[in-house]
């Protein structure tokens, strides 16, 4: 079986050495493996969430596209495209938005961080929060699910989003798959060593720390950045500890075992930091020379880049277009012209034999489950608030086979976390009680 690997890069910045060594280079290497299909894309719709500077968005898209190609991505093998060239992605985003629980999205780290920040600042919880930011994980779920990706290489901060994609995809499968898996469940692959390429000051290399080493700028700029790498104050001739030096970590990320061993020994023997920097510079400058040249050639011919990305979009849409058509049909957006279309696969809901009715009495909030004749099947306990009652009722209607229904003394009861949350009347015989149980099971399995 071929494994589908998919990942996206938000187009808001210029790739630096850390992005290259951490994400781009390993992704390109992975795309050469056997039995692998890779989908790599520029997440430019995601970029709009964070950035309202059109010039920057445009520049970043161009630079990131050129970086991947300069780094050796083979677009015959991999499918390389811009998110915004695939209209099936925003269309699927809507289908998923309609099944994504708002409560799930409330828990997204990025949104929660924004809310926390507002609260600390004494502002309205949602101040400055756009629907784009709030729905960010749904768009990302669509990116992943539209291509039925198996593996999604991401940084640690994105793992939650991949889990949400599973969650939303699973719910969609349950509602519309009629027993079939419409969507494959994706798995996050965490590239841990990736996150640890250090910057000039030893912290993770990141634009937000302003400690990056440029990737395809001139040799001169590369040299100047390397000269700013922070080291300890050991003098030339003093032995140095390679393992506590992020200069050495950077060197390791680009060198062979033999080169690493030599550098290690020389540092321990007292190599001057200035010398070590010079060696790192030579190493990087040599390794980056060729891709740097390709990068600048590509940047000078944006029309060619455009063509490559258009071809990528065409390839991606060969998969996305028919799949989205299938999904549209699954939710009931079907042609009227197809014979019998109005009759096919009517959801079981239409024949629904039951109702769940919520109400409030002196003791609190309750619900009943009624059969098709309007007779009581179950009456819930009194809940202290409507929300708790709603959650219990929802559990009844969604737990399906996991629902804990017990039958004691010709009476049915439903249990959730060691608590009886609803009960039937007492039936006068085992037969009637069994009949009621069957009715209840049928009633709850038709609801979703
Ligand atoms: N949100 C990701 C990031 O900022 C980028 C991204 C968008 C992505 N869609 C994706 C990553 C789908 C993997 C899969 O890093």
Decide: 46 in ligand 1 pocket, CB within 6 A: yes
The pLDDT value given to residue 356: 84
- CA dihedral sign of residues 251, 257, 263, 265: positive
pLDDT in tens, 381-401: 999 998 899 889 888 888 877
Q: Give yes or no for residue 8 CB within 6 A of ligand 1.
A: yes
State how far the Cα of 365 lies from the Cα of 140, in Å rounded to an integer. 38
Answer whether 186 contacts ligand 1 (Cβ < 6 A): no
Which atom belonging to ligand 1 lies closest to the Cα atom of 155? 15
10 lines ligand 1 (CB under 6 A): yes
Residue ranges, comma separated, of all CATH 3.40.50.620 domains in the chain are: 3-100+135-196+301-318
**What CA–CA distance (Å, rounded) separates 170 from 181?**
8
**What are 111's two structure tokens?**
């949104």
Nearest CA to ligand 1 atom 6: 8
CB atoms within 10 A of CB 28: 20
Pairing of strands 151-154, 187-190: parallel
Ligand 1 centroid, distance to 55 Cα (angstroms)? 21
DSSP state of 198: B
- Give 225's Cβ-side CA count (13 Å radius): 23
Q: Does domain 3-100+135-196+301-318 have CATH number 3.40.120.10?
A: no
pLDDT at 347: 53
**Strand partners of residue 9:** 42
Residues of the chain with CATH 1.10.240.10: 216-298
Q: Which residues contact 36 (CB under 8 A, 6 or more apart)?
A: 2, 3, 4, 5, 30
State the Rg of the chain over Cα: 29
Instruction: State residue 345's pLDDT score.
Output: 55
Asked if residue 250 lies in contact with residue 280, where contact means CB atoms within 8 angstroms, the answer is yes
pLDDT the model gives residue 448: 44
The C-alpha angle with vertex 76 and arms to 72 and 78, in degrees rounded to 5, equals 70
How many angstroms separate the alpha carbon of residue 128 from the centre of ligand 1? 22
Low-confidence ranges of the chain (pLDDT < 50): 349-350, 447-448
Kindly state if the Cβ of 43 falls inside 6 Å of ligand 1. yes
Q: From 10, 22, 96, give the residue whose CB has the most ligand 1 atoms within 8 Å, as the site to mutate.
A: 10
Q: Which fold has domain 216-298?
A: Tyrosyl-Transfer RNA Synthetase (1.10.240)
Identify the DSSP state of 427: P
Task: Determine the topology of domain 335-447 in CATH.
Answer: PH-domain like (2.30.29)
**Gap from CA of 43 to ligand 1 centroid (Å):** 7
pLDDT in tens, 308-327: 999 999 999 999 999 999 99
Neighbouring C-alpha atoms within 13 Å toward the C-beta of 446: 20
Q: Is 393 in the pocket of ligand 1 (CB under 6 A)?
A: no
144 Cβ inside 6 Å of ligand 1: yes
Which of 416, 413, 447, 404 is CA-nearest to residue 433?
413
- Is 152 a pocket residue for ligand 1 (Cβ < 6 Å)? yes
Give the Å distance between the CA of 118 and the centre of ligand 1: 25
Query: Can you list the alpha helix ranges (DSSP code H) found in 38-130?
Result: 44-50, 54-70, 88-97, 102-106, 109-120
- 279-315 burial code (b ≥16 CB/10 A, e <16): bbbebbeeebeebbebbeebbeeeeebeebbeebbeb
Q: pTM of the full predicted structure?
A: 0.76
Residues of the chain with CATH 2.30.29.80: 335-447
Q: How far is the CA of 149 from the centre of ligand 1 (A)?
A: 13
């Amino acid at each position: 079986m071929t494994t589908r690997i998919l990942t996206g890069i938000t187009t808001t910045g210029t790739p630096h050495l850390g992005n290259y060594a951490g994400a781009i280079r390993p992704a390109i290497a992975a795309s050469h493996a056997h039995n692998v299909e890779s989908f790599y894309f520029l997440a430019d719709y995601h970029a709009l969430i964070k950035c309202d500077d059109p010039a920057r968005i445009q520049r970043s898209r161009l630079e990131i596209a050129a970086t991947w190609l300069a780094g050796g991505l083979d677009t015959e093998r991999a499918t390389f495209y811009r998110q915004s060239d695939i209209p099936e992605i925003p269309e699927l985003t809507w289908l998923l938005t309609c099944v994504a629980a708002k409560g799930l999205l409330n828990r997204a780290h990025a949104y929660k961080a924004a809310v926390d920040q507002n609260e600390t600042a004494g502002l309205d919880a949602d101040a400055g929060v756009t629907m784009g930011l709030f729905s960010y994980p749904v768009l990302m779920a669509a990116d992943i699910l539209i291509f039925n990706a198996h593996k999604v290489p991401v940084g640690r901060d994105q793992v939650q989003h991949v889990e949400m994609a599973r969650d939303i995809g699973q719910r969609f499968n349950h509602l519309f798959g009629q027993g079939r898996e419409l969507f494959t469940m994706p798995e996050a692959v965490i590239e841990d060593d990736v996150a640890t390429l250090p910057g000039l000051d030893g912290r993770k290399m990141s634009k937000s720390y302003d400690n990056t080493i440029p990737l395809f700028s001139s040799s001169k700029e590369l040299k100047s950045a390397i000269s700013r790498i922070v080291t300890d104050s050991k003098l030339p001739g003093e032995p140095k500890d390679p393992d506590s030096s992020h200069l050495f970590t950077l060197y390791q990320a680009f060198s062979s075992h033999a080169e690493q061993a030599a550098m290690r020994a020389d540092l321990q023997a007292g190599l001057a930091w200035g010398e070590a920097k010079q060696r790192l510079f030579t190493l990087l400058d040599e390794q980056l020379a060729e891709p740097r040249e390709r990068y600048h050639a590509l940047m000078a011919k944006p029309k060619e880049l455009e063509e490559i990305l258009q071809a990528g979009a065409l390839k991606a849409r060969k998969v996305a277009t028919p799949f989205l058509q299938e999904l549209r049909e699954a939710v009931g957006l079907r042609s009227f012209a197809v014979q019998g279309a109005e009759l096919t696969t009517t959801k079981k809901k239409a024949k629904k034999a039951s109702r769940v009715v919520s109400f409030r009495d002196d003791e609190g909030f309750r619900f009943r489950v009624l059969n098709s004749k309007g007779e009581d099947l179950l009456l819930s306990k009194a809940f202290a608030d409507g929300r708790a009652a709603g959650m219990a009722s929802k559990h009844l209607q969604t737990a399906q086979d996991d629902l804990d229904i017990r039958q004691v003394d010709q009476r049915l009861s439903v249990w959730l976390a060691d608590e009886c949350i609803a009960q039937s009347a007492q039936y006068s015989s085992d037969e009637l009680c069994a009949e009621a149980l069957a009715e209840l099971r049928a009633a709850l399995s038709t609801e979703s």
